[in-house]
Amino acid sequence: ARLSELSLLDEAEKRRIVYEWNETVLDVPQDKTVHELFEAQALRAPDRGAAVYNGVQWTYKELNARANRLARLLIEKGARPEQRIGIMVKPSLEMAAGVLAILKAGAAYVPIDPGYPA
C-alpha cells in the first residue's frame, strides 16, 4: 500500500478527534444582542479573561467597564441607534472595547483598515 493511503488513526480515534472534540454547537439565545450576551457573561464571570492581545489580558469586568465608558461618550457625542460609526484602529484590546462600545450605543460599527489609502 502507498503511504498516503494508510490511515494513522483507527476509526475510534478518528471519530473522537474529528467529531467529538470538534462538537461546538452552543445554545445561543436568538433574542439577545452580542453586547447583551457579553454583559451577561461579564456578570457571571467578571474576573475571567475576556481578551488577550500581545500578552496583555483584560477581564470581562475591565473590558465591559471600558466599553461602557466609551459607549456613554459616544452617546453624548450624538451616536444614535442604527447609525454607522467608523472605527479605524489596529487590532488591539482597545479595538475590542471600541467595537463593543459602538454596539452598546445601539449603532453599527464600520471597520476601516488603517492601511487603506486616504
For cell 467608523, the residue is 86
pLDDT reported for residue 81: 92
- pTM assigned to the model: 0.75
Contact 87, 109 (CB under 8 A): yes
Tell me: pLDDT of 4 over 80: yes
User: In this structure, which amino acid lies at residue 87?
Assistant: I
* pLDDT tens sequence across 12-35: 998 898 888 888 777 878 899 999
Tell me: pLDDT of 118 over 80: no
* pLDDT tens sequence across 44-63: 999 999 999 999 999 999 99
> Bridge partners of 4?
none
Q: Residue 3: is it exposed, middle or buried by C-beta count within 10 angstroms (0-12/13-18/19+)?
A: exposed
Structural domains in the chain plus CATH codes: 32-111 (3.40.50.980)
